[in-house]
Amino acid sequence: MPADRLALPVPPSPPPPWRFPVVAVIAPVVVSVAIWALTGSVFALVFAALGPVTAVATLVDQRWSGRRSRSRELDRFRRDGERLAREISSAHAQERAALEEAAPHGALLVAAPSTDRGRWRYADGPLGVSVGVGRVPSALELDPVPREGDESVLSRLRELVESAAAFEGPVIVDALLGIGVCGPRRSVMSAVRGLIVQCARALPPQEWWVRVSRPGEESSWLDALPHSLRSGTATGFTVEFGRRGSPVPVVVIAAAATEAQLPPSCRVVLAVSSGSPGRLVAHPHRSHRREVVPAFLSRLDAAEWARAAAFDARAAGLAPVESALPDAVALSGLLGPPEPTAFPSLRCVIGVGAEGPVAVDLVADGPHAVVGGTTGSGKSELLVSWVIAMAAAHSPERVSVLLVDFKGGSAFAPLAGLPHTVGIITDLDAAQAERALASLRAELRYREREIALAGGRSIEDTALPRLVIVVDEFAAMLAEHPDLHALFGDIAARGRSLGVHLVLCTQRPASAVRDGVLANADLRISLRVNNAADSTAVVGSPAASELAPEARGRAIITAGGEPRTVQVAIAAVEDARAVVDRWAGSPPPRRPWCDPLPARVLASELGPVAGIPLGLLDLPEEQRRAAAAFDPRTDGHLLILGAPRSGRSTALSAVAEAVVPSEPAGAWDAVCQLVADMDAGRLSGPVVLAIDDIDALVPRFSGEHRLAWVDLLSRVLREGAAHGITVVVAAQRLVGELASVAALVPSRLLLRHSSKQDWLLAGGETSTAVLEGPPGRGRFRGERIQVVHSEPAPVLGSVEWDRLDPGRPIAVATGRAAAVAASLAAGGFHVIGVDGLPAHGGPLAGTAVVGDLDEWQSRWGALGALRSSSEILLEGCAPADVRALTRSRALPPPLPAEPGACWRLRPDGSVGRAILPRRGRA
């Protein structure tokens, strides 16, 4: 307040000082003596006494006059002091009135709510509120008190100065500092009510919100405030005021039992008690800490003021629009009869605004819509209600709905049974989501063709239904599939003419939806968002960031005009059932995508195919599925690659009647026999050579056999087609020698792999990798396939063994002569060494000639001599030793891991397999 200077009363003037009249006393004496001297009359000396008499008289007169003057000055000083006291009192009254007008306490506001012309005037700067009555410093300024003078006068002057320095008046503090009140609960809440009412009276309701934590009984009147009310999470009873567009509170008022329980944001603390004055115990300025008689306000009076203020705010158009909306709206009360079909429209009612039901139309308001909202704001409920309302108003022949939910699919569960729903895509299977979205590209091409065939320019020239694609968590979808930016940009640009409409829902539209899509999405809906930037990006204003957190389903809608505040309707299960019943007789809509491939496909389900039934192909780009066949004549050899339990053996069984044995000896025999038949021209019809787990089979061969067998197989791959031979090989991965084998196989079936790296090494592209799915799921000829289920194919014949002639002796060359000799002796043979051979003729039947390799080498030609009369067996030696002893260049067949397995030198010079005779067996 501006200072007002007042003058102190002038102190009483002191009486003039008394002076002895020396001249007046001496002059008469001198004159009397002079007259006596001239006249000689003694009588003349009488005049000498006039001087002292006159002096005394003058002294008496001065003292009497001084008393009278002093009395007059004191009366004047007293009157001036009283007048100054009245002026001080009047000035203090004016100051008090000014303070009460600037910050009237709650009781004053309740007394005259309708005549309060200071309501909602706050714009900026300090926000003064009255916490009660106390000694308030005055703006008056008085002259300084003289340092010297009559003590009684000085005391009076000091008294006047002290009375002017302060007065009993409203103690006003800045509410922006945060105010906390502590003490007994009843007294505390009475004081806090007055503070809340003062703040609510000053802050414009259309610009400020109120957030209340732990309202308890106080909610009965706080709910009536004209401001937008929000629920807070602070500890204890706390009321916060903040500007719309910012979640940060500006004013904090808190209540607690003790000062320590108040939040740190309360820099001003008022301690109250029952029956005695309170005190400002905390304030940033120490001079403001003083005793205060709090201003109390009852809950009844506070409620009366809140209701009156809310009424006046609505009448003046100052209350926020959402305060007039219901907290919840049932969709069932908004569903009307179907919309007329005379004009293209997707109009439907989705909620209630200040003026009644609110309808949106993707055709007239769109063609596309963007929906924003933070977690818990009601996005999913909005989408469900919108789809049900649209399905109730329009038949499946006019509109179909494709739902994309990247939150798991549960949000759209109530919509699965609608006749308009053509599919629900979820994020549970990334591959299935990708194939379904790929179908959308095909849908655009399909609609272009239909419009062209009809000779029209847009969907309105055809009988095609409109397709509404609803995407929940659009940002999550793009994070997993960034290439879809281009697809949705294409749909956004051409959707109006093709009849494809997008409803894209996400928490952060500003960062998730590109400008190309936003430019074509004129229909904007934003539920509560966390900041003004997100709200402005969607609806062009910060209004959505100012919606109360507890107002679930409260939204701002804009469609080319001013934003409207709407309470979105909530759909019930009965609403979806009513839609199903309404369109029970309608034919199902055409689906823009096929169902995902099943986990199990039988060959009988594929129908007639040209070749061997292999599986079911998924062709999302063509919006269909087709049978896949393997034709050896055109496809050539086939390589099947996949992770463990990916269905490799099942796929192999689907195209082959039998498979090669999984152990080296059997696989060697099968390939060698096929090569022999091929060389001899003995093949009369198509032959399929199937080898399972070849990557596990090849390492089990010994070094020489491995290279030889791979060479034989490679020859079959190169020359087999001319003889009607088709090789089908299954493996987990291509390693070592298999790389050269794989290069000779033109066709590949890639089943599920463990990682994209493995898929890439198998010859696939990382963008088409199949990393999930049931056994038999993979890609064939670049398309996704589910291989037919078939029983495991039988294994080809067992390993071939030569039968020994029991009537002939045996000759054994071995690397463990002692052990073999003991075994044969135990089996009933007469065992002799190489040195014991007779000079002429061979050994007798029942004789076993056993020697190590060196002994037989030293008797060069002995084995050859015995070939015609004895069984020649080679055990426990390397293939090179066999070739050296038998003088043959041919590689002997690999021996299986069988006890007693050995090579047998046949009479014709070839090498076969045999089993050493054991006990009781010849």
Q: Six-digit token pair at 810?
A: 């045996």
Whether residue 378 is annotated as binding a ligand: the answer is yes
Q: What is the DSSP string of 576-588?
A: HHHHHHHTTTSPP
Classified as helix, coil or strand, 569 is coil
Whether residue 373 is annotated as binding a ligand: the answer is yes
**Helix-, strand-, coil-residue percentages of the chain, each rounded to 5:** 40, 20, 40
CA distance 341 to 331: 22
Q: Six-digit token pair at 761?
A: 């090494």
pLDDT, average across residues 576-580:
93
Q: Which alpha helices (H) appear in 265-345, and where do they start and end?
A: 299-315
Structure confidence at residue 428 (pLDDT): 55
pLDDT, average across residues 201-219:
87
Residues 718, 720, 726, 731, CA torsion sign: negative
**657, 701, 915: which is closest to 810 by C-alpha?**
915
CA distance 264 to 631: 81
CA distance 281 to 258: 12
Most confident of 138-152, 206-220, 503-517, 709-723: 709-723
Check pLDDT > 50 for residue 1. Answer: no
Check pLDDT > 70 for residue 105. Answer: yes
When the pLDDT of each residue in the chain is averaged and rounded to a whole number, the result is 86
408 pLDDT band (50/70/90 cuts)?
low
Structure confidence at residue 920 (pLDDT): 44
549 pLDDT band (50/70/90 cuts)?
confident
Q: What is the DSSP string of 104-156?
A: --HHHHHH-STT-TTTT---SS--EEEEEEEEEE--EEEPPPPSSS-HHHHHH
SS3 readout for 608-619:
CCCCEEEEEEEE
**685, 770, 766, 778: which is closest to 724 by C-alpha?**
685
Q: CA 584 → CA 201, 417, 468, distances in Å?
A: 58, 11, 21
Structure confidence at residue 318 (pLDDT): 78
DSSP, res 621: G
Structure confidence at residue 467 (pLDDT): 94
Instruction: Identify whether the C-beta of residue 550 lies closer than 8 Å to the C-beta of residue 527.
Output: no
Q: CA 349 → CA 62, 320, 393, distances in Å?
A: 107, 23, 9
Categorise residue 647: left if φ over 0, alpha if ψ from -120 to 50, beta otherwise: left
Structure confidence at residue 21 (pLDDT): 66
Whether residue 426 is annotated as binding a ligand: the answer is no
**525, 205, 166, 563: which is closest to 372 by C-alpha?**
525
pLDDT, average across residues 434-440:
78
Structure confidence at residue 570 (pLDDT): 92
Check pLDDT > 80 for residue 763. Answer: yes
pLDDT, average across residues 79-86:
89
Q: What is the DSSP string of 882-898?
A: HHHHHT--SPPPPPPS-
Query: Higher confidence at residue 785 or residue 114?
Result: 785
357 pLDDT band (50/70/90 cuts)?
confident
Q: What percent of the chain has pLDDT over 90?
A: 37
Q: Which alpha helices (H) appear in 513-663, and where do they start and end?
A: 515-518, 532-539, 573-582, 632-635, 648-655
**Which amino acid is residue 677, in one-letter code?**
D
**86, 104, 92: which is closest to 135 by C-alpha?**
92
First to last CA, the chain: 130
pLDDT, average across residues 597-603:
91
Let me know the angle formed at the C-alpha of 321 by 316 and 323, rounded to the nearest 5 degrees: 100
**Which amino acid is residue 475, in one-letter code?**
A
Whether residue 379 is annotated as binding a ligand: the answer is yes
Q: Which alpha helices (H) appear in 648-702, and where do they start and end?
A: 648-655, 664-680, 694-697
Check pLDDT > 70 for residue 715. Answer: yes
Structure confidence at residue 921 (pLDDT): 43
17 pLDDT band (50/70/90 cuts)?
low
Q: Are strands 208-213 and 228-231 parallel, antiparallel or unpaired?
A: parallel
The region of weakest confidence among 84-98, 509-523, 559-573 is: 509-523
The region of weakest confidence among 200-214, 385-399, 439-453, 582-596 is: 582-596
pLDDT, average across residues 647-665:
90
Peptide bond into 367 cis (omega under 30): yes
Strands (E), 1-144: 4-6, 128-137, 140-142
Instruction: Identify whether the C-beta of residue 856 lies closer than 8 Å to the C-beta of residue 872.
Output: no
Instruction: Identify whether the C-beta of residue 173 lies closer than 8 Å to the C-beta of residue 281.
Output: no
Q: Which residues pair with 208 in a beta bridge?
A: 243
pLDDT, average across residues 239-250:
86
Structure confidence at residue 481 (pLDDT): 78
Give residue-wise pLDDT tens across range 527-542: 988 887 888 888 887 7
CA distance 883 to 901: 17
Structure confidence at residue 671 (pLDDT): 93
Check pLDDT > 60 for residue 764. Answer: yes
Structure confidence at residue 430 (pLDDT): 66
pLDDT, average across residues 353-360:
82
Query: Higher confidence at residue 140 or residue 341?
Result: 140
CA distance 191 to 386: 48
**Which amino acid is residue 381, in one-letter code?**
E
Whether residue 351 is annotated as binding a ligand: the answer is no
Check pLDDT > 80 for residue 919. Answer: no
CA distance 103 to 173: 9
540 burial level (CB within 10 Å; 0-12, 13-18, 19+)? middle
Q: Which residues pair with 501 in a beta bridge?
A: 468
280 pLDDT band (50/70/90 cuts)?
very high
Looking up tokens 């390939």 gives: 671
pLDDT, average across residues 93-101:
89
Check pLDDT > 90 for residue 188. Answer: yes
CA distance 622 to 143: 100
Give residue-wise pLDDT tens across range 885-915: 888 888 999 999 888 899 999 888 889 999 9
Count CB atoms within 10 A of the CB of residue 250. Answer: 16
Check pLDDT > 60 for residue 68. Answer: yes
Whether residue 536 is annotated as binding a ligand: the answer is no
CA distance 157 to 161: 6
Q: Which residues pair with 727 in a beta bridge?
A: 689
Q: Give the chain's length.
A: 922
Q: Six-digit token pair at 629?
A: 């066949």
Q: What is the DSSP string of 500-551?
A: EEEEEEES-HHHHS-HHHHTT--EEEEE--SSHHHHHHHHSSGGGGGS-TT-
pTM of the model: 0.59
Check pLDDT > 70 for residue 3. Answer: no
Check pLDDT > 50 for residue 922. Answer: no
Query: Higher confidence at residue 230 or residue 712?
Result: 712
Instruction: Identify whether the C-beta of residue 128 lies closer than 8 Å to the C-beta of residue 136.
Output: no
Instruction: Identify whether the C-beta of residue 673 lies closer than 8 Å to the C-beta of residue 713.
Output: no
- The radius of gyration of the chain from alpha carbons, rounded to an integer in Å, stands at 56
- What 765-773 contacts at long range (C-beta under 8 Å, 24+ apart), as own/partner pairs, is 770/431, 771/431, 772/429, 772/430, 772/431, 773/431, 773/599
343 pLDDT band (50/70/90 cuts)?
low
Give residue-wise pLDDT tens across range 118-167: 788 898 899 999 999 999 999 888 888 887 777 888 888 888 888 888 99
Q: CA 35 → CA 27, 46, 50, 243, 471, distances in Å?
A: 12, 11, 14, 108, 140
Check pLDDT > 50 for residue 185. Answer: yes
CA distance 777 to 768: 12
Structure confidence at residue 230 (pLDDT): 75
177 pLDDT band (50/70/90 cuts)?
very high
The region of weakest confidence among 18-32, 99-113, 907-921 is: 18-32
